[in-house]
Amino acid sequence: MGRIIPIKTDFSSILQRSDSLNFRIPIGTLWEFEHFRQGKLIDQWKQGNVTTDEGLNAFLDIMFHGSTQIATWYMTVFELDYTPLVTNTYAVPGYTECIAYTLATRPEFVEAAASGKVLTNTANKASFTFNATKTIYGASLVGGGTDPTVKANTAGGGTLFASSKFGTSKNVVNTDVLLVTCTITLADV
């Protein structure tokens, strides 16, 4: 005859809640480049970037801590095969800025008002007309300090907001034009 064996199972659970909220505001830049030679478009590409700690701290201080706004930002291009880091600064950008273009100063980043969590210079792209043969590896967005208009200036307390290294270096020659668009976004990219 069969025997009945009593089986008992106990289940328990613990509900644990977090004492902090986990959310983030994504901030980043999307870069677009157009390379022209003798008036003809020979290459164009898009890519992301590194937003520096210095740039993010400036953003927070200006928006929430009452620091002085950086009224004008400038675009740069660099000629050193260097991968930007979040720890790079205006004083120590890690790259060598290219100065072999026809403008006397760095081109301004002339942006339109923000819309849809995006701010961009699409309507007024930074233009670099080169006056020498160079290999260009990337671009950056800088501002503030005592004189951010001066090519290759790393003195005077400016801010390096973001840098973008090209996926592939670009060889430019005299009269080549590189148009640079930088889109700053608070939306996921």
Q: What is the pLDDT of residues 86-117, one digit of tens each?
A: 999 999 999 999 999 999 999 999 999 999 99
Q: What is the pLDDT of residue 44?
A: 97
Which phi-psi region, left, alpha or beta, contains residue 32 (left: φ > 0; alpha: ψ -120 to 50)?
Answer: beta
Q: What is the pLDDT of residue 19?
A: 58
Q: What is the mean pLDDT of residues 35-46?
A: 97
Mean pLDDT, the chain, integer: 90
Spatial contact of 157 and 69, defined as CB atoms under 8 Å apart:
no
Alpha-carbon distance of 28 to 10, in angstroms, equals: 50
Is 15 part of a structural domain of the chain? no
Spatial contact of 163 and 29, defined as CB atoms under 8 Å apart:
no
Binning pLDDT at 50, 70 and 90, where does residue 18 land? low
Q: What is the pLDDT of residue 27?
A: 82
Is 76 part of a structural domain of the chain? yes
Alpha-carbon distance of 182 to 61, in angstroms, equals: 22
Q: What is the pLDDT of residue 154?
A: 94
Say whether pLDDT at 22 is over 90: no
Give the rounded distance of the alpha carbon of 131 from its chain centre: 26
Total domains in the fold of the chain: 1
Say whether pLDDT at 42 is over 70: yes
- Domain of 103? 28-185
Q: What is the pLDDT of residue 7?
A: 56
> Roughly how many angstroms between the first and final C-alpha of the chain, as a whole number?
70
Q: Identify which of 162, 146, 184 has the alpha carbon closest to the alpha carbon of residue 76.
A: 162
Q: Identify which of 69, 80, 27 has the alpha carbon closest to the alpha carbon of residue 52.
A: 27
Q: What is the pLDDT of residue 150?
A: 96
User: Tens digit of pLDDT for each residue in 112-169?
Assistant: 999 999 999 999 999 999 999 999 999 999 999 999 999 999 998 999 999 999 999 9
Q: What is the pLDDT of residue 83?
A: 96
Q: Which amino acid is at 11?
A: F
Alpha-carbon distance of 138 to 97, in angstroms, equals: 9
Alpha-carbon distance of 44 to 9, in angstroms, equals: 66
Q: What is the mean pLDDT of residues 25-35?
A: 89
Q: How far is CA 69 from CA 106, 133, 144, 185, in A?
A: 19, 37, 8, 18
Say whether pLDDT at 185 is over 80: yes
